[in-house]
Amino acid sequence: MINLSTSLRPAVLLSLALWGSCQAAELAWYKGNTHTHTFWSDGGEFPETVADTYKQKGYHFLALSDHNVVSQGERWITYAADKTATVDAAMQRTRARWGADHLQVREKEGKKQVRLWPLNEVRKLVEQPGRFIMIESEELTSGVAEGKQVHSNALNIDKRLPVKPNKENTVDQELAAHQKLVHDYRQGTDQPVFWCINHPNYKSSLIAKNLVGVTEANAVEIMNTSATCFNRGNGKDLIPVEQMWDEANTARLQQGLVPLYGVAADDTHKYGEDKPVLYSPGLAWVMVHSPALTAAAISTAMQQGDFYCSTGITLETVDFDQPAGTLTIAVAPEPGLHYTIDFVGSVKTADGIQIGQVLQSTEGIRAVYKLKGTELFVRAVVRCDAPPVIKYDDFSNVERKAWTQPVAWKK
């Protein structure tokens, strides 16, 4: 039995090749964000300043995931009339951080342009072994029929995956197109690629059934700190993403598939704000338990579900003891806060399967759930009585929580 006091142990996907030679002392928790935008697409900041922002906030890794592009090669952006204020403000921040001569500016055909740094140059500026790394990523982005959107992140790639959106396609057809791009790329590399389906409630685009069909996906975003992603539904036609996650995983397990893991991410577009706002850095992240701070080790650990998600709660223990049939959660508490640990899962009953039920709720900073034998899977959600980090509306507030991955499922 592997029983690490601060390790997440999904039931069947742990790779002995990766973990067999690792002792508890060699594993560490690494904080990261997998969904970030810059001027390479529709973000509001230069990539090196984005990277440094996350580094200064104590993150260990960051994935730049601009839309349908990787930050490679030569790229200059023009000061479009509606973007001048955004670019000017970013130039001021970047020059204040890196020096007055840091940015290259030119005139071309009567228009002012500024050069964007590619990732290989950004890495030389901000990376620090064992402290902070960048991971190449891309947000595969497609508009499809009925105004819906299909977005997914491919983490740890080294070239662009050439999305060819078809606005006549259904959501399922475009998800299949994304999956083929990722599949073909994986076939041509020996590096692990973590693939996540993004913000399913954006543009009312996805339902649980769509998430069942992407058999090669590793995860879905269960928390995206944007105003239009409706993590908690909209009180009308959109259900909470956590409910969608449980419905999808219940169906996947019934079909003999592995479950999707859950990711929390910033989807950052806004920078330079005086206080936290939606779309800004440092609101939601993943904590990955890995033997090393490298792109391959982080991606492999995430593929195997060895991570949890947070919007402000740190966990000391996440331990699934499969032989004992117990899931143990312990919180690293903050003074003055009170915590509740909910164990959520789908279970078999005489009347069928109950999906996404709260199976046990414990007040305090430590809780143990003992399997009954009827569970399809179990996961934990930790909440506290702190006020929201951001109070926006009933469906987009950012509250301090932590989510673990589903365990106890059988292949």
157 touches 320 (CB < 8 A): no
2 has a pLDDT exceeding 80? no
Q: Which residues contact 261 (CB under 8 A, 6 or more apart)?
A: 218, 219, 220, 302, 305, 307, 405, 406
23 has a pLDDT exceeding 60? no
Average pLDDT, stretch 371-390? 97
On average, the pLDDT of the chain sits at 92
Gap between the Cα atoms of 357 and 100, Å rounded: 56
C-alpha torsion angle, residues 72, 75, 80, 82 (rounded to 10):
20
Nearest to 126 by CA among 44, 72, 46, 42: 46
Quickly state the pLDDT bin for 22 (edges 50, 70, 90): very low
Q: Which domains does the chain have, with CATH numbers?
A: 16-73+118-403 (3.20.20.140), 75-117 (no CATH)
Nearest to 303 by CA among 184, 404, 219: 219
Give the pLDDT score at 80. Answer: 66
Report how far Cα 41 is from the mean position of its chain's Cα atoms: 19
Quickly state the pLDDT bin for 82 (edges 50, 70, 90): low
The verdict on pTM exceeding 0.85 is yes
Mean pLDDT check: name the lowest of 122-136, 173-187, 267-281: 267-281
55 has a pLDDT exceeding 80? yes
Nearest to 392 by CA among 308, 275, 236: 275
Read off φ and ψ for residue 93, nearest 5 degrees.
Answer: -65, -45
pLDDT tens-digit map of 25-45: 489 999 999 999 999 999 999
Quickly state the pLDDT bin for 84 (edges 50, 70, 90): confident
Gap between the Cα atoms of 311 and 126, Å rounded: 25
No. of helices (H) and no. of strands (E), the chain: 8, 19
197 has a pLDDT exceeding 80? yes
222 has a pLDDT exceeding 70? yes
pLDDT tens-digit map of 252-300: 999 999 999 999 999 999 999 988 999 999 999 999 999 999 999 999 9
Nearest to 283 by CA among 262, 264, 302, 269: 264
pLDDT tens-digit map of 312-347: 999 999 999 999 999 999 999 999 999 999 999 999
Report how far Cα 156 is from the mean position of its chain's Cα atoms: 13
34 touches 63 (CB < 8 A): yes
The H or E element that residue 253 is part of is helix 241-254
The CA-CA-CA angle for residues 163, 164, 170, to 5°, reads: 105
Give the pLDDT score at 203. Answer: 96
Gap between the Cα atoms of 350 and 95, Å rounded: 66
Give the pLDDT score at 9. Answer: 40
Quickly state the pLDDT bin for 85 (edges 50, 70, 90): confident
Residue 317 in tokens? 């223990």
